[in-house]
Amino acid sequence: MTATQIIFYIIAAFILGCGLLSMTTRKIFRSAIWLLFSLLGVSGLYFWLQVEFIAAVQIVLYVGGIVVLIIFSVFLTQQSGKEMPKAPVRRTIAGILAVLFGFAFTYFLIYKYNFKAGDGKFDMEVSRIGNQMLSTGENGFALPFEVVSILLLSAMVGCIVIAMKAPSNFPKGGESKLTNPNSDER
């Protein structure tokens, strides 16, 4: 086993471990933090593959955008310190079956198409990537670029909707302190 393979396995184990912790922890804030570390691990994998631009986009878009929005929405819902309820057994079994199906499907695709290892050479100039991102031609990525912008917009709208939900436990006056700014209690 070469040093390159060892580094890859360490990064992959970090990504999978953080992803597993993100899914299994019962505190919602800790789950968001583990997701952040998992996405940072993916960007580390891109840096290790010497695709620095994609790694930077991974950090800015997912770590800096999506995860920060998730953390803000968690704080704004006033549920950051509470434990999530334990998942029902049926949902746990369905999740395990979905994971097994995903592994089996991935193994089937790799076995059927017999993927070969690449030579590791990337021709990734930032100007060429920019031209392809905004091009609508054969090698253009204008549509996926717009889909990503819609993803960020929907994440922001979702955070706003979650933050604007009224708390379920109102004080005896029938109004929430969040909706009544003239409340004397501070």
> For residue range 47-85, what is the model confidence (pLDDT) as tens digits?
988 888 888 888 888 888 777 777 777 777 666 667 777
Calpha distance 88→47 (Å, rounded): 39
Q: What is the pLDDT of residue 135?
A: 81
| Residue ranges of E strands in 7-131 | none
The full set of domain ranges for the chain reads 3-85+123-164, 86-116
Q: What is the pLDDT of residue 113?
A: 86
| Six token digits for residue 101 | 């199906």
Q: What is the pLDDT of residue 186?
A: 46
Q: What is the pLDDT of residue 128?
A: 79
Spatial contact of 32 and 71, defined as CB atoms under 8 Å apart: yes
Provide φ and ψ at 6, rounded to 5°: -65, -45
DSSP line for 110-135: HHHHTPPPP-------HHHHHHHHH-
Q: What is the pLDDT of residue 181?
A: 52
Provide φ and ψ at 83, rounded to 5°: -85, 140
Give domain 3-85+123-164's CATH number out of 3.40.50.10490, 1.20.120.1200, 3.30.360.10, 3.60.150.10.
Answer: 1.20.120.1200
Q: What is the pLDDT of residue 165?
A: 63
| Six token digits for residue 174 | 């029938």
Spatial contact of 23 and 31, defined as CB atoms under 8 Å apart: yes
Calpha distance 8→36 (Å, rounded): 19
| Residue ranges of E strands in the chain | none
The contacts of residue 54 (CB under 8 Å, 6+ apart) are 46, 124
Q: What is the pLDDT of residue 74?
A: 73
Q: Which residues of the chain have pLDDT under 50?
A: 170, 174, 176, 186
Residue 178 DSSP one-character state: T
